[in-house]
Amino acid sequence: MCANKSESGTMMLELQERVTELENWKDGKGLIIYGAGNTFCSGSDLNAVKAMSNSQDGMNMCMFMQNTLTRLMRLPLISVALVQGKAIGGGAELTTACDFRLMAPGSEIRFVHKHMGLVPGWGGAARLVRMVGSRAALQLLSGAARVDPQRALCLGLSEETLSSSDGTKALEEAQVWLSQYTEGPASVIQAVKKVVTVGRELPLEDALRTEKDIFGTVWGGPANLQALVRRPKHN
């Protein structure tokens, strides 16, 4: 899925439509979000921001994007943000709504909100704290720090720095990287993402109960029965 250079109101609606489609993708296993050209996403369209600078419109936009990105994060797909060029402001927040980030050489994730007199509103702060810890999150937000691929690796914000910044090659690299995690039946890959999501988000007792329910969807299923016939050796 290609992120837009900056998110106008129309583009925010389009993002929500894509997420709805992905929620209904029964055979889906993986998702790569990448930008067009040399920018991953530069956040809200500043022209749109000016037009909705009153409190009510700002809150509506904030809640709309927070809801959309939370739904993106909870998709039963293994998602990757392929960061080429800059991921600025809301664009940086969009990267945190994916399970993984892969960064091309020379790319940058930057939470510039402070320089806009703002704080993240699309859920990026809540997700960042959970990813890198509160101290590092505070440094990145209060410093509006440029996070290059090396610093992202050190922080645990990125999984890998790709070898190519060329658009097509970087996407191919990201596809190969993701394929190591999406091999297998969609039902099982989706169940894996679901149990990780509940383990991350629910209190223990609720997570255990939900994990049991998800286990029940794959136990004795086609993939399980076929494996019992194959009896693979895990050596």
Point out which residues bind ligand LP2KCY5N (CB under 6 A).
6, 39, 42-47, 49, 86, 88-90, 112-113, 116, 118, 120-122
Q: Which is nearer to ligand LP2KCY5N, 11 or 218 (CB)?
A: 11
CB of 28 to ligand LP2KCY5N, least distance (A): 28
Q: Are 110 and 85 within 8 A, CB to CB? A: no
CA distances from 34 to 31, 54, 70, 85 (A): 10, 31, 18, 10
Q: Which is nearer to ligand LP2KCY5N, 6 or 158 (CB)?
A: 6
DSSP 89-145: THHHHHHHTSSEEEE-TT-EEE--GGGGT----SSHHHHHHHHH-HHHHHHHHHTT-
Residue nearest to ligand LP2KCY5N (CB): 43
CB of 207 to ligand LP2KCY5N, least distance (A): 30
Q: Which is nearer to ligand LP2KCY5N, 28 or 121 (CB)?
A: 121
Residue 169, SS3 per DSSP: helix
CB of 44 to ligand LP2KCY5N, least distance (A): 3
CB of 133 to ligand LP2KCY5N, least distance (A): 21
CB of 63 to ligand LP2KCY5N, least distance (A): 12
Q: Which is nearer to ligand LP2KCY5N, 30 or 120 (CB)?
A: 120
103: phi then psi, degrees, rounded to nearest 5? -115, 135
Q: Which is nearer to ligand LP2KCY5N, 29 or 86 (CB)?
A: 86
Q: How far apart are CA 106 and CA 86, in angstroms?
A: 9
Tokens 């255990």 label which residue? 208
Q: How far apart are CA 204 and CA 145, in angstroms?
A: 35
Instruction: Categorise residue 192: left if φ over 0, alpha if ψ from -120 to 50, beta otherwise.
Output: alpha
Q: Are 6 and 43 within 8 A, CB to CB? A: yes
Q: Which is nearer to ligand LP2KCY5N, 82 or 192 (CB)?
A: 82
CB of 60 to ligand LP2KCY5N, least distance (A): 12
